Chains A and B, each alone.
Chain A
Amino acid sequence: MSRPIVIENASLYGDTTASLLIEDGVITAVGEVTAPEGAVVVDATGLVALPGLVDLHTHLREPGREDAETIETGSRAAARGGWTAVFAMANTNPVADTAGVVEQVWSRGREIGLVDVFPVGAVTVGLKGEHLSEMGAMAHSKANVRLFSDDGVCVYDPVIMRRALEYVKTFDGAIVQHAQDLRLTEGSQMHEGEVSAELGLAGWPAVAEESIVARDALLAEHVGSRVHVQHLSTAGSVEIIRWAKARGISVTAEATPHHLLLTDESARTYDPLFKVNPPLRTQSDVDALRAAVADGTIDIIATDHAPHAAEDKDCEWAAASFGMLGLETALGVIQKALVDTGALTWRDVARLMSENPARIGKVEDQHGRPLAEGEPANITLVDPNEAWTVDGAQLASRASNTPYGGMELPGRAVATLLRGEPTHLSPRFEGAFA
């Protein structure tokens, strides 16, 4: 049995100051708290307490690309970033398209214990878009999979997409779509626009995302199912989601920190650290995404944490892999782009990065819970005044492909508790827990 923990004078959701008592992994008192004998007392003055963050979009790369990330290194990166749960995408090798693979990932996550790892199952066998995978078996496995995605590839065939949307209703699942018209993006390297025209890099047009978002919203409406659209990147996609929600379609949408901060201008460096799929768009897209995050059109912020080995990034732009690290920088980037600019409060951050993703991922009984008595002690303490400079080599991920190297972020997670157990502690707290 671990020692009780008292978090003193934290700013809950950035609103009210209170102390929290944690015993046996549960929050047992909120408000004025008297520390029991032997308790660990943490002075959280000036810190924001949030429910542990939930990332609906993580690539842990294990099995298959353990040179880029493992479930262990990815879990550590997640804990350091303030996450208590991550949804591990299916594009591993072998692909997570069977109960065996998802159970392996799930149980490896449990063994490591730094973050709850919830595997996402593949929609189609081998992510090939041809045959539905055995989603029922994955749903009924120990991993209890509820989200299915061919992420990295779009479920392109409209009939397969329709069947998938219908089929997952059987076990209250959802299809998580990487919206990308494959034909319109063959060989694409970056956002198609003024910068791609000048740089001579093949364009990835906004319409290739928007047409699939529209199609899938209509399909979800037609079959009465639930679709979650990943990494929205264009102003047009935002408009379509807004329309679909107004129409009552069961659609949810996510945005990534990088699409909320960076633009296609960064491709002028030809540095593949900025190469990502969907690509970084224009400032007006960034502005539209920020507005949509603030007004609730976009439901969640997720990282699309995508580690890549050095040789897959230290090369020509066109030869490089798509994707960037995100777990450890997400909170700081969101603070910089949205909180410090006044677009979001910390209360909103809790909704976008914990409560909503837990609900969409069907883990709302364990994660994204209120900071209230009787609730599981999944808690992230944020120091909004601990500015730090990002250095890829210092991140916990095995890979170091961050686009934020050298950038100063205004704040970071300084402690993460998973069911009352510290999974990440800034050096300032290590003494208290010793």
Chain B
Amino acid sequence: MRHLLSTQDLSRDDAILILDTAAQMAATQEREVRKLPTLRGKTVVNLFFEDSTRTRISFEAAAKRLSADVINFSAKGSSVSKGESLKDTALTLQAMGADAVVVRHWASGAAYQLAHGGWLHGSVLNAGDGTHQHPTQSLLDAFTMRRHLVSDPTGADLAGLTVAIVGDVLHSRVARSNVHLLHTLGAKVVLVAPATLVPVGIDPWPCDVVHTLDQALEAYDIDALMMLRVQRERMTGGGSAFFPSPAEYTRLFGLDGDRMRRLPDHAIVMHPGPMNRGLEISAEAADSPRSVIVEQVANGVAVRMAALYLLLAGEEGAQ
């Protein structure tokens, strides 16, 4: 594996290797000394064109626990301002000798361009590009599901599980990444969203689509319920709004205590964060014992350690 750009590029074996490696990484994090020498001498650049403190510190922690040198490069600019171009940034990083570039960008495809533009030799790890992909998020989601829902997780996929993803699919890189990864791992995926927030052209996606949360709770035995963050401006944009009001969204798609109690006993509640409490998820649901939201964050570090390890340490073995 040279880059990690999209979950569509991952075979079942690739995905399971990452999850198993992440499990080993997580085990090392229980030790007294958590730092591993694996990537000593390697330089990992966190290149963030879009603010995301949570994702950045997760990658930073992952790289540091593998003893890599970490450089944080914030090149924030609005979507139209062309301060430093992607190309110039890539050339700069190349000159600095980055072994891996973790990139978060507002533009769909930016990670792909960085990997394939011929500007840079290091590995590119997509930490979220526009509304396209966020592969490590879906890997940490799959990791979390496997831990909770599969009895003998090592080497296993998610066959037989049903995962419902609720919310703004149209603008969600988390949803796109998860649909493909979960399908590759054998799970059934159900997207739950108002039709305005489902992309046109979704037919080939390997998933079902339903249009209210109650309908999804009715029709499927859901093992994992993933609530997506909904941006308020998508509902309050006047004539361009995707939904009449936040209140109506909450009524039809919000997860409250009552809806949560309709889930099977073993089912878990997930959210990629940051949450809008009271909008897509109630405090009762977010803080319930079924909620694995905080654990998702911890698992994020292990999964990102695994991804960096497989991209960078694997490289030498292959040569």
Q: Which A residues form the contact surface with B (CB < 8 A)?
A: 183, 186, 189, 192-203, 205, 269-271, 311, 314-319
Given contacts A200-B131, A314-B87, A316-B107, contact A193 B200 (CB under 8 A): yes
4 smallest A-B Cβ distances: which pairs?
A270-B109, A200-B132, A316-B107, A197-B201
**Pick the contact of A319 from B80, B199, B201 — CB < 8 Å?**
B80
In the assembled complex, the Cα of A199 lies from the Cα of B129 at a distance in Å of 10
Bits for B60-87, please: 1 = Cβ < 8 Å to A, else 0.
0000000000000000000110100111
Residues of A within 8 A of B85 (CB): 311, 314-315
- Residues in B with CB closer than 8 Å to A183 are 239
* Cβ contacts B103-121/A at 8 Å (1 or 0 each): 0011111101100100000
Residue contact A199 to B132, C-beta cutoff 8 Å = yes
Among B26-34, B93-101, B202-210, the one that faces the other chain is B202-210
Residues of A near B201 (CB, < 8 A) are 192-198, 203
Asked if B112 and A319 make an inter-chain contact with CB atoms under 8 angstroms apart, the answer reads no
8 contacts between A and B (CB under 8 A): A194-B201, A201-B131, A201-B132, A203-B200, A270-B113, A315-B82, A316-B86, A319-B79
Q: How far is the CA of A262 from the CA of B312 in the complex (A)?
A: 38
The answer to whether residues A319 and B107 also contact, given A200-B131, A270-B112, A314-B87 and a CB cut-off of 8 A, is: yes
Please give, as numbers and ranges, the residues of chain A lying within 8 Å of B105 by CB-CB distance.
Answer: 316
Q: Which of B8, B86, B112 contacts A315 (CB 8 A)?
A: B86
Give the Cβ gap from A68 to chain B, nearest Cβ, in Å: 16
Is the pair B130, A318 in contact by a Cβ cutoff of 8 Å? Answer: yes
Structural contact, B112 and A197, CB atoms closer than 8 A? no
> B residues bordering A, Cβ < 8 Å?
8, 79-80, 82, 85-87, 105-110, 112-113, 116, 129-133, 173, 176, 199-205, 239-240
Give the complex CA separation of A387 and B232 in angstroms.
56
Q: Report Cα–Cα, A194/B176, bound state, in Å.
A: 13
Nearest residue in B to A195 (C-beta to C-beta)? B201
**A199 engages B108 (CB within 8 Å):** yes
A41 to B259, CA, bound (A): 87
Q: Which single residue of chain A is at the shortest CB-CB distance from B130?
A: A200
A197-B202, A199-B132, A270-B113 are known contacts. Are A318 and B82 too (CB-CB below 8 A)?
A: no
- Closest Cβ–Cβ distance, residue A121 to chain B (whole Å): 29
Q: How far is the CB of A38 from chain B (nearest CB, A)?
A: 54
Main secondary structure of the interface of B (DSSP, over half): loop
B182 to chain A, nearest CB (A): 16
Note all chain A residues with C-beta closer than 8 A to B240. Answer: 186
CA separation between A197 and B82, bound complex, in Å? Answer: 26
CB distance from A155 to the nearest CB of B (A): 21
A315 to chain B, nearest CB (A): 5
Using known A-B contacts A311-B85, A314-B87, A319-B82, determine if residue A201 contacts B200 with beta carbons closer than 8 Å.
no
Alpha-carbon distance A271/B82, docked complex (angstroms)? 17
Write out the residue numbers on chain B whose beta carbons fall within 8 Å of the beta carbon of A196: 199-201
Using Cβ atoms and an 8 Å threshold, which residues of chain B touch A194? 201-204
Interface centre among B87, B113, B176, B239 (most CB of A within 10 A): B113
Residues of B within 8 A of A205 (CB): 200
Q: How far does the alpha carbon of A319 sit from the alpha carbon of B75 in the complex, in Å?
A: 15
- Given A198-B176, A200-B133; A315-B87 close (CB under 8 Å): yes
Residues of A within 8 A of B202 (CB): 194, 197
6 extra A-B contacts, CB within 8 A, seeds A270-B113, A271-B113, A311-B85: A193-B200, A200-B129, A201-B132, A316-B107, A316-B109, A318-B79
Most chain-A Cβ atoms within 10 A of its Cβ — which of B108, B116, B132? B108
CB neighbours of B132 from chain A (8 A): 199-201
Cα of A269 to Cα of B108 in the assembled complex, Å:
11
Q: Which residues of A contact B108 (CB under 8 A)?
A: 189, 199-201, 270, 317-318
| Distance of B189 from chain A, by nearest CB (Å) | 15
Q: How far is the CB of B124 from chain A (nearest CB, A)?
A: 13
- List chain B residues, Cβ under 8 A from A193: 200-201
Determine whether the beta carbon of A317 is less than 8 Å from that of B82: no
Q: What are the residues of chain A within 8 A of B110 when measuring CB–CB?
A: 270, 316
B133's nearest neighbour on chain A, judged by CB, is A200
Chain B, Cβ-Cβ closest to A196: B201
Which chain B residue shows the least CB distance to A193? Answer: B201
Q: Which of A186, A197, A270, A318 meets B200, CB within 8 Å?
A: A197
CA distance A316 to B105 in the complex (A): 10
**In the complex, what distance in Å separates the CA atom of A183 from the CA atom of B240?**
9
Q: How far is the CA of A196 from the CA of B132 in the complex (A)?
A: 9
CB distance from B154 to the nearest CB of A (A): 32
The minimal Cβ–Cβ distance linking A188 to chain B, given in whole angstroms, is: 12
CB-CB under 8 A from A201, the residues of chain B are 108-109, 130-132
Nearest-Cβ distance from residue B89 to partner chain A, whole angstroms: 11
- Is B200 a contact of A317 with CB atoms below 8 Å? no
Taking a contact as CB atoms under 8 Å apart, the answer to whether B107 and A317 are in contact is yes
Give the complex CA separation of A107 and B163 in angstroms. 67
